[in-house]
Amino acid sequence: MTDPDAPSAPDRVKDRRPSARSEIARREIDVAGVEAATRDLLEALGQAPDAPGTTDTPRRVAKAWAEMLSPEPFEATTFENDGGYDELVVVKDIPFWSLCEHHLLPFHGVAHVAYLPGDRIVGLSKLARVVDTFARDLQVQERLTAQVADWITDTLQPKGVGVVLEAEHLCMVVRGVKKSGSRTVTSALRGLLRDDARTRAEFLGLVR
């Protein structure tokens, strides 16, 4: 008997598509709007936009925001795992910076990315590229960590994925508690790197 609640064949195919969390969004930047808003912000802060030091500030700020929120496109070139490699692939200390969506202040640090190959492998530079791509957004570190892990999972279908991010947040340095040097560490583990204690320990030991 057919289960009336079971998904249809098209629905099952859709379920295997990349999740929304791992799709790379392309943000549309209204540069003229950012420039106008910057002028308003300067005035609200008591700074005349046409003062000698800030005449060109709105244009510079708009250009900077457009750059910071526009990741470079790339193709995720993958290859068959012809050699049957079945050990961890780890890229450590990938520098990144992003923008806190709560205070619009930067956070920056390093990412450690690993996967346990299945049928396909990916060019190592693409692991760094995907970190940069998701980082160039208004972010929180927890979501950024998960997005990188989900992208690798959806793109490669590996046996396991591990992502660790270590970052310093300027919203904790220049305001609030003002704790310079404090670092926030987040992790996202998928597949065997989550479920197999030995594989998880190997990954965490390699990125320490």
Residue of 23, 43, 67, 102 with catalytic role: 102
Tell me, yes or no, if 108 is annotated catalytic.
Answer: no
Tell me, yes or no, if 103 is annotated catalytic.
Answer: yes
Q: Where are the beta strands (DSSP E) in 26-178?
A: 78-80, 89-100, 106-116, 120-122, 138-139, 160-169
Tell me, yes or no, if 171 is annotated catalytic.
Answer: yes
Residue of 112, 139, 141, 147 with catalytic role: 141
Strand partners, 187: 164
Tell me, yes or no, if 101 is annotated catalytic.
Answer: yes
Q: Where are the beta strands (DSSP E) in the chain?
A: 78-80, 89-100, 106-116, 120-122, 138-139, 160-169, 184-191
Tell me, yes or no, if 35 is annotated catalytic.
Answer: no
Residue of 35, 47, 171, 202 with catalytic role: 171
Residue of 23, 67, 101, 142 with catalytic role: 101
Taking the CA atoms of 186, 192, 198 and 199 in sequence, report the sign of the dihedral they define: negative
Residue of 47, 103, 108, 166 with catalytic role: 103
Residue of 112, 139, 147, 169 with catalytic role: 169
Active-site residues, by number, are 100-103, 141, 169, 171
